[in-house]
Structure formats: C-alpha cells, structure tokens
Amino acid sequence: MNNNRNQVPISPLPHGRGWAFFLLFLCFGIGARAGNIVTIGTASSTPDTDVTVSVALTNTDVVSSLQVSIPLDEQLAFVDGSAELSSRCTSHSVTAGVKDGALNIMVYSMSFAAISGNEGEIVSFRLRLGDQPTDIPLTASKVILTDTEGSSIEGATAVNGSVSIRCAKAQYGAMTIDFGSVPIRSTYTRTLAVSNVGNEPLTLTGLQFANYQTRFSSTTSFPLTIAAGGSGSINITYAPDTRGMVSETVKVVCNSISKLNNITLKAQPFAVNELHIQPTTGVADETVTVGMTMNNMDGISGFQFEFTLPSQFEYVANSFQLSARRVDHTVVSSVTDGVLRIICYSPTDKPFTGEDGELATMQLKLTGRNGTTLKASKCLLTATIDNQVTNVCSADYGATITIRSPHISAANTLAMGATPITEDAVKTLTVRNSGNAPLTISRVLFDNEEFSIRETLPITINGSSSQTLTVVYPSIEEGDYNTTMQIYSNDPEQRLWNVGVTGNRFAPNYLSISANDVLTGKDVSVDVSMDNYDAINGLQFDLEYSSEYYEPTDELTTTARAAGFSVSQRSVSTSVVRYFFYSLNDALINRGEGRILSFKLRAKADAPTGAYSLKITNIKLGTADMQNKYAGSDLNGTFNVVEQLQGDVNLDGAVDSGDVMAIYTAMAGNADAGLQLRADVNDDGQIDSGDVMAIYSIMADN
C-alpha cells in the first residue's frame, strides 16, 4: 500500500516571528532536562474499518509545541484531515501528513502558547485498517518538544502504541486433494489440514460439494471452531463405484477473511484386475509347480505375458495348464533365448468364470541355489469394454521361488601358529552352512598324510548353523610347515572347499628368573632356571639391574644340573652385566627343568623400600651343533626391598617372645626365604642361638 496517497501537505507558516519559531521547532537547542513522555495510543477493529489513535503528553516542563513521526505499516492508511486537537491545545494548530511511509504530526502555537495541563491527550487521528489479521506496532521514530521560548526540550521519551486488525483467516494444507488411481468398490479418506493464521476464532460451518454424484463426502462434525493460531482438519471421503476421471470442487464455508476457500478434488477410479504369481519352495535339482491366480472386476477373456527365466529355473515344456475357470480358452507357450511367452484367448470372446481364484499352473526345474523372484512382464489382461477389446490389467505381482540348498563357507586359510614339538599341533576350523538345507561333509583330505581331523565323517550341518573341524598335526619335525585341506560337501555350487594350512613346530627351551625380597642394604640373591627339550652345552644372557643401589659380585654358583659347567661375567654397561655359561669338556645340560645358576647383586647403598626390576635379554641357548635353540622372549623379574624393625622376625610390629619362636622355626628349616632372611638378627650369616640372644638384648633395651 502506498501511504503517500494520504499525505496532507503541511501549510506554510507566516514570515517573521513564526518562521523563527518553525526553525527552532525543527532543530534541537540547549534546553532544560526533565521528565516529558509522549504516549502513542492503541486501537483495534475489524478489517477495512477506521480506528482512532490518540497521542498523549505527560510533561513536567512547559511545552508549547510537539512533533512526532510514526512509520506506517502497509496495512495502515492515514485518513486525510482526521487529526484533531484536544482541549489542552486551545491556542494551537495541528498539521498531519504522510511522507516516505511515515505519518508526521506537528502541534504548534504561533504565539508560543503553552499546552495546558501536565497530562492527557494532545491530538488524535484516524487510520484505515487493511484486510489482513495482524498486530502492528506504532513506534515514535522522532519526538521533538519545544518550550515557550522556542527552545528544544531535551530528554523527551516516547511510549509506543499499536493497532490490531482482528479477524479469522483460514490457510489450507493443500488447495488440491488428489486421491490418485484407486480401485472402485472401496472407500478412501484424505485429511485436509486447516490452520487459523488470524487472531480471532475461525468457525467452519460446513462443506458445499459441487456435485454429490461424484461420491465425495465428509465425516467431520460441523460447526468446527479453530482458535487463533491453532489448527484442525477436515476429512474428505471418496467411495467410487464407476471407473473414469473425476474432478470436483468443494467449498469450505467459514468466517475467514480470505476468499480462497475452494478445494479441488481429483481421482482416477479403476476396476481392479490383478495377476498374482504364487510363492513356491523346492529342493535343488527337483521340479516344482508354480501357480497363478487372478482377481478381476471385469470379465477377462484372454491374457498375454512373458517371463525372463533366471538361470536357476528351467521351464518344463508344455507344462502350462489352465484351471477350471476356463471356458473355451486356448493357450500357447514357447521359450526363446530364456524368455517364456504365454498367450491365451477365447475364440468366442468368453470371459473366465468367477472373480477370484487360480488361473493356471506351470512346472519349473530348479537348477541353482537360493532361488529368486519370478514376475511376469508385458502383462495384458483383456476384456471387452464398450465394444472395444481393452487391456484392463491394473497390476501384476511376482513371487519368490525358493530353492532350498546348502551353502558352505569357511576361512580359506588356517594358521595353526607355533607349537612345541612336545605336543600335537591342534587348531579348529569353523565350517558354516548359510543355506536352508542340511550340508553334508563327506570327505576331508590333506596333501600331507600326517594331518587328520578328530571328527568322524560324514558330518551334517543344519541350515544357518556351523560346526568346527579339529585339525591335528603330530609331527615332531621342527620348522615351518604347510598343506592344503580339501573339504568335500553336497553344496551344489561349491562341491570342494580348499583351506591353506600353515604353522611352525619348535623345541621348547626356556629360561626363568626369580629373586627373593630383601631388607634395605642387603644383597640380592638371583636364581636362573632352565626348562629345556634339547641338550644345552652353552648359555649366554644379559642382566639389566638397578645400578644406583646394586652391583654384580663374583658369587656365581652352578647347580647339580649344570655339573661340568663354568660361569663368567663381564660388564656391558653401567647397569648391564653379561653372563657366560660354558663347558670346557663338552658337558651337556640334558633335557629337563630346574635351577642351573645362582648369583648375587651386592647392595652398595641403602635402597628405598619398594619394587625393583630385573630384566634378562640377549638370551642364547647353544646346542652341540652350534644352534641357538632359545624359544622364549626377554625375561622380567622383580624383588621388593622392605624395611624391618630390628628383631621383628614375625613382622607383627613388636619385638617379643613371638620373634624368638620364629627364630626356632627358621633354625629347624621350616621357614620360607623371607623368614630365613629376617631370622639372622645379628647379621652374622647364621641362624642360631646368637640370634635368640640378640632378641633378648633388644627386648631388654626396650
């Protein structure tokens, strides 16, 4: 809306003092600051009516003139000449007009007379309302007040008003409802969404259909009231009984301000004539009978269709047979390049009897696995409509022909890993049957005759199940090995399944390390044990230790297992010492297990309590033929440094007769290594009566 058409020209002011006043009125001067408020009023009404809006002034200063500018929405138009002064302005004039979309109001006095009073309406004006429901703010974009000297009064504020256009307005979710192609003899319902985008209640009183013979109706109860901002719905029901294109108009009778209340209804009803292939299940390599049914509203006198046969299906020649619904119908079938074509007709144009039921059958030989969908293409169902032979097929449906068969699957490789030659290499292979018929494993062969499976053949695995085969290799020959495992089954497409089998056999030769807990400042005793399959004639390893508190000693002791062997050591780095275990007369450590060496680490400082690590690396176990037969990895060991109360042998936190009894236990040789260590109270390397006397001495001092 162009509000400029309502613009009222502002009358020119006289020359002289009035002109000076006008200039002062348009400019901000330096004046007094006080509480002066211009208030724009509020109003509401229905569309296309006038409302009166007031402009009020609450002032603490003496005011002689007022100017305010109010932008107008396109739904508002100023009524020319409607501005009127109130009784507070007996010596004033008013000018009002629209420019650039804003209403400008000027109240002034040529004699600079003061506006009487300090509160109340100054001027009012009328606005013409538009035709859309809305709430429109009236915002004072510019407010100017002057005093009786013609100076601007600073600090004037404004309170905005508003205008409300009150009405209901309907908005529809769609202006067209298309029921689409629908079969006759059924009922269909669609929902029309209705929203009230107005600000007053919307009342729907009913529907007016242009032609009730088109079978449209509504189940909605009227009147239907929708609150402002709310929504509702109307049901449209369609019950076609004849075929053909349908177009209808329905009018929604309501109090909406909008006149767009006509909804177009469309539909394309048709008779249902359908061909259905029936699902069938069979076993691979067998023949199944596939049925076809037809439900029809028209009198079907003939049909034609074709099947592109999947590789799993083979049509049995001349097996297509019509059902008892035939009258005098003749059928012809042929197969060319994998496409089965069927043509059926009545020489006298007689329709098949009935409206539902079996139409024909045919036979297929199943030659593959799992099956697939069988669906007719280029389907024609012919009927005579208005003396014209017409294809009236509304739909044709395929079906799944399921072939039940086993389906073998397993890993193509079987890694048996590294196994000591002291035991059989054993690994399981999972064989799955993802088919829907039992899988029978009849034979399992290996390229290497030493391999076998533990299970007894034949093995049957049900559909969607699995079973493990246990592969066994008993050879004691060291080194890598491989073979091919051949699994024979009744899977029609995978009679043979090959599995590559790999692994390694090794002699089990291992070292182990152990150390007991020690007291702060005491030496650490370390034992090295060996579990060996081969006879060993040489040993070498590096020991990593905490060099801050300990250092190697020459106390190296071999056991009876290592008779004839010597031990030496040399430093490799600050915290690594290398031990050599050798025989000058070709002695051997025969197959067996047990401790072979003990050595000590001397305490060179008081180690804080806690755990300390020992690590053996660079391990070599030599045999007479100069092979390194160590089968393990680096070794890690730990020992704890503990702090002991002098004389607290039994670690109960006190030195008393209980500790004496603990010493006697150690003297009898019935104590563990920790107790043996603590029992040497006088630290002379012996556990005897001297330690008992030391306990009594400590008890006397306490």
Per-residue pLDDT for 515 more than 60?
A: yes
Q: Specify if 500 maps to a domain.
A: yes
Phi and psi based region of residue 647 (left: phi greater than 0; alpha: psi -120 to 50; beta: remaining)? left
Mean pLDDT, residues 75-80: 96
What pLDDT does residue 674 have? 74
* Total residue count of the chain as it appears in this document: 702
More confident residue, 467 or 2: 467
Least confident of 153-162, 356-365, 650-659: 650-659
**Which residue's structure tokens are 């069988």?**
374
Q: Which pair of tokens denotes residue 507? A: 């002699």
Residue 480 confidence (pLDDT) above 50: yes
In a domain, 647, yes or no: no
pLDDT of residue 316: 96
pLDDT digits 0-9 by tens, 396-427: 999 999 999 999 999 999 999 999 999 999 99
Coil, strand, or helix at residue 220? coil
Q: Indicate if 666 and 627 belong to the same structural domain.
A: no
Tell me whether residue 282 is in a domain.
yes
Mean pLDDT for the stretch of residues 327-346: 96
Q: How far apart are CA 365 and CA 289, in angstroms?
A: 9
Question: Mean per-residue pLDDT for 16-26?
Answer: 37
Is 652 part of any domain?
no
Give the C-alpha separation, 107 to 95, whole Å: 7
Instruction: Report if residue 649 sits inside a domain.
Output: no
473 or 12, greater pLDDT? 473
Instruction: Judge contact between 270 and 184, C-beta under 8 A.
Output: yes
Q: Are residues 102 and 43 in the same domain?
A: yes
What is the spatial distance between Cα 629 and Cα 619, in angstroms, rounded to a whole number? 10
> Is residue 19 located within the same domain as residue 148?
yes
Contacts of 670 (CB under 8 A, 6+ apart): none
pLDDT (mean) for 275-300: 93
What CATH number does the domain containing 111 carry? 2.60.40.680
Using pLDDT thresholds of 50, 70 and 90, give the confidence band for residue 686. confident
Cβ burial of 217 (10 Å; 0-12, 13-18, 19+) is middle
Same domain, 393 and 298: yes
Per-residue pLDDT band for 22 (boundaries 50, 70, 90) equals very low
Q: Sheet harboring 142-146: ordered strands across? A: 93-99, 102-108, 65-71, 142-146
9 and 157: one domain?
A: yes
The highest-confidence range among 77-86, 682-691, 692-701, by mean pLDDT, is 77-86
Contact residues for 421 (Cβ-Cβ < 8 A; gap 6+): 475, 476, 477, 478, 505, 506, 507, 508, 533
- Asked, for residue 566, whether it belongs to a domain, the answer is yes
Q: CA dihedral defined by 86, 17, 9, 25, rounded to 10 degrees? A: -70
Mean of pLDDT values over 634-647: 86
| Domain range enclosing 575 | 510-642
Token code pair at residue 372:
């697939």
Q: Domain boundary residue among 473, 488, 506?
A: 506
DSSP of 402-441: EEE---EE--SEEEEEEEETTS-EEEEEEEEE-SSS-EEE
- pLDDT at 314 (0 to 100): 94
Which of 221, 253, 270 corresponds to the end of one domain? Answer: 270
pLDDT in tens, 251-265: 999 999 998 999 999
The pLDDT-based confidence of 233 (bands split at 50, 70, 90) is very high
What is the Cα–Cα distance from 659 to 681, expressed in whole angstroms?
10
Predicted model pTM: 0.47
**What CA–CA distance (Å, rounded) separates 319 from 17?**
118
Residue 648 lies in a domain: no
Per cent of the chain over pLDDT 70 is 95
Q: Is the pLDDT of residue 460 over 80?
A: yes
Percent of the chain past pLDDT 90, that is, above it, reads 75
Q: Among 462, 484, 506, where does a domain finish?
A: 506
**Cβ–Cβ < 8 Å for 694, 681:** yes
Distance between CA atoms of residues 591 and 578, nearest Å: 24
Q: Are 1 and 77 in contact (CB under 8 A)?
A: yes
What string of DSSP letters covers 506-563? E---EEEEEE--EETT--EEEEEEEEESS-B-EEEEEEE--TTTEEEEEEEEE-GGGT
Q: What is the pLDDT of residue 166?
A: 96
Q: Are strands 413-420 and 496-506 parallel, antiparallel or unpaired?
A: parallel
Which amino acid makes up residue 369?
R
What six digits make up the tokens of 660? 């004496």
Distance CA 363, CA 367 (A): 13
Strands 518-519 and 635-642: what pairing?
A: parallel
Evaluate if residue 61 carries a pLDDT over 80: yes
Other Cβ atoms within 10 Å of 46 Cβ, number: 14
Structural domain includes residue 300: yes
Collect all residues with Cβ–Cβ distance below 8 Å to 676 and sequence separation of at least 6: 666, 687
Check whether residue 333 and residue 232 sit in a common domain: no
Tell me the average pLDDT across 107-120: 95
Averaged pLDDT score across all residues of the chain: 90
Number of domains in the chain: 6
How many other C-beta atoms lie within 10 A of the C-beta of residue 228?
Answer: 16
- C-alpha span between 269 and 698 (Å, rounded): 114
Task: Report the C-alpha gap between 412 and 431 in whole angstroms.
Answer: 11
pLDDT at 19: 35
Amino acid at 683: D
- For position 682, what pLDDT does the model report? 83
My answer on whether 378 and 465 are in the same domain is: no
Write the CATH number for 240: 2.60.40.10
What is 257-318 written as a DSSP string? S----EEEEEEEEE--EEEEEPPEEEETTSEEEEEEEEEESS---EEEEEEE--TTEEEPTT
Q: What is the pLDDT, as a whole number, of residue 696?
A: 85
**488 and 520, same domain (yes or no):** no
Q: What's the rounded mean pLDDT across residues 205-216?
A: 87
Q: Is the pLDDT of residue 200 over 60?
A: yes
Mark whether 15 and 113 lie in a shared domain: yes
pLDDT for 670:
76
Note the pLDDT of residue 652. 73
Across residues 648-655, what is the average pLDDT? 78
H/E stretch holding 692 reads helix 689-701
HSE at residue 513, side-chain half, CA atoms within 13 A, is 24
Q: Kindly tell me the number of DSSP H helices and DSSP E strands found in the chain.
A: 4, 55
Poorest-pLDDT segment among 313-322, 336-345, 676-685: 676-685
Query: What type of residue is 536?
Result: I
Contact 526, 601 (CB under 8 A): yes
Q: Are residues 256 and 339 in the same domain?
A: no
Let me know whether 147 and 12 are in one domain: yes
pLDDT tens digit sequence for 539-594:
999 999 999 999 999 999 999 999 999 999 999 999 999 999 998 888 999 999 99
φ, ψ dihedrals at 396, nearest 5°: -135, 145
- Both 20 and 145 in a single domain? yes
